[in-house]
Chains A and B, each alone.
Chain A
Amino acid sequence: MNTFEQELKNNNFVCSSCLKCNKLVWPPSDFCNSCFGGVTWRQVEKTAKLVEFSRQGNEVFCIAEFEGNIRIMGSIKNASNLKVGQSLTLVKCDYDSKWKFILEPVI
């Protein structure tokens, strides 16, 4: 388990950020994908934009975008009248061999 996954398991969604050019590096890496500078970890904002969604049975899964750059797939709980582009908030993240993200609509 790497630092990112350990933090995820602690319900803390972080991302690597370049120490040299301040770029947010996604997916997480030990090097900046712009200038190859070293990175540090910083908290990702909790609010995301709903990019797209579908359903599998009663479960809603989606692509959510954080800070205009970080896209992940996760599930949405308490989903009703969803609209692409609306705001979601990250309510839980976890790691159990896979990254897990649970979001819900911002009302």
Chain B
Amino acid sequence: MRKVGIAASGLTEFSKNDSSVESLMLSAIKPIFHETKNLSQNDVDVVLTSTNANNKYLANIISELSGISPRTAHTVESLCNSGTNGIVSAYSYIASGLADVALVVGAEKNDSPGLVLEWDKSRGAYTHPIYWASMFASAHMRRYGTTLEDVAYVGAKNHRNAVDNPYAYFKKMFSIDDIMKSKYLTETLRLLDCSMPCNGAAAILLASDEIIKKFTDAPVWISGIGQKSISAGFTKNEDLTSMKSTVQSSIDAYHMSGKKANNVDVAELHDAFSICEIIELEDLGFAQKGMGTSYVKNLYDNNDKKINPRGGLVGSGHPLGATGIAQTIEIFQQLQGKAKKRQVDRAKTGLVHNMSAAATSSTVLILES
């Protein structure tokens, strides 16, 4: 397989400002063509669109509107981890030699049909994601004594980080007290424990090692990939204190890259709800089981931006099809040393974790400068 790297990226602000999916995508693509040296539309072999919107033939439409005539154009949809699925597909095209340069663009609107998986009837009347998140929270609290205050540290940390992210949905800090007093949606979940559906887009340009230096002097390499789908129905994740698909994805990504959790300098974790970050820290090997809470509290107390420096989904907002790409862009910028106020010192190795539908599927990427 050929080496594949990230050459360039573009983002829109995550907001409730109304815009079409096409316009959002073009807004994220525009800076890639404006700011990347030697890049023209003729260089792009593959265009992949990542969204849960019901727009048909979208990758071809975006290609035409961008002046690109690619060999391959199609949409990748996998609910909340559509974005990293798009990146893995693009990686595969390039690594196999079918393409040299691929553009992946993801976008979503706040009323996306991807917010609830209608197929999963096993949720009964409890179809909204807050119910599965409450089950994970209750299980973790029961087994490890995790408290609502422990969970509030995730939100307080990520909202604080999001203040330095110009593209984030939230522009203000929330204290532990603010979160503790926010509206209780269930016994174990409050409004400020949740990520917000919003409008937004993210785009990323991948290229083979044979051509990438034409576009950037500081490529970031994708050195590890792990993906796992255990089911579509959320009740198949037997142990609710863990995300089985995340555990397996991380094992594969660490194996492929030759890295381990203790080699990772900076990471983006999929905190669709604050409790998710605690569980993921444990499942990805950053903390021992039951110790995710103290790991987060330590990050908060030391203003350490190692985990979710852009503010996570809780602080940045969650435009489903864009999220995994935005997470990857954050690690790309961190490893290039271009993350400004969010920069983690001497970051050389990063991790992206993106999951869907109560962690029934997960993607883990390892990136290296």
Contact = CB atoms under 8 A, between A and B. Distances in A.
Interface of A: 26-27, 51-56, 61, 63, 71-75, 84, 98-101
Contacts of A61: 126, 131, 134, 186
Nearest to A61: B126
A55 B186 contact: yes
Contacts of B135: 52, 54, 63
Contacts of A101: 124
Given A55-B186, A61-B131, A100 B125 contact: yes
Given A26-B122, A101-B124, 4 more contacts: A27-B120, A54-B188, A98-B121, A100-B124
9 contacts: A27-B233, A52-B139, A54-B186, A55-B186, A55-B187, A56-B186, A63-B135, A63-B235, A71-B122
Given A63-B135, A84-B142, A56 B187 contact: yes
B185 interface: yes
A84 to B, nearest CB: 7
A54 B235 contact: no
B71 to A, nearest CB: 36
Nearest to B139: A52
B229 interface: no
Contact of A72 (B124, B138, B142, B188): B124
A99 B142 contact: no
A49 to B, nearest CB: 12
Contacts, number: 62
A58 to B, nearest CB: 11
A45 B290 CA distance: 35
Q: Which 7 A-B pairs have the closest CB atoms?
A: A71-B235, A55-B187, A54-B134, A73-B124, A73-B126, A54-B138, A56-B186
A73 B131 contact: yes
B121 A27 contact: yes
A88 B185 CA distance: 25
Interface string B49-77: 00000000000000000000000000000
A53 B138 contact: yes
A52 B133 CA distance: 12
B121 A54 contact: no
Interface string B98-142: 000000000000000000000011111111000100110111001
Interface of B: 120-127, 131, 134-135, 137-139, 142, 185-189, 233, 235-236, 240
Contact of B235 (A56, A72, A100): A72
A72 B236 CA distance: 10
A56 B142 contact: no
Contacts of A98: 121, 124-125, 127
Contacts of B127: 98
Residue of A51, A52, A63, A100 with most chain B CB atoms under a 10 A cut-off:
A63
Given A27-B233, A52-B240, A84-B142, A73 B123 contact: yes
B240 A56 contact: no
Contacts of B121: 27, 98-99
A106 B263 CA distance: 50
B196 to A, nearest CB: 20
Contacts of B131: 54, 61, 73
Contacts of A75: 125
Contacts of A52: 135, 138-139, 142, 240
A99 B118 CA distance: 11
A51 B124 contact: no
A71 B122 CA distance: 7
B122 A73 contact: yes
Nearest to A98: B125
A99 B121 CA distance: 6
B117 to A, nearest CB: 12
Contacts of A71: 122, 235-236
A86 to B, nearest CB: 13
Contacts of B236: 71
A92 to B, nearest CB: 12
A54 B139 CA distance: 9
A71 B235 CA distance: 6
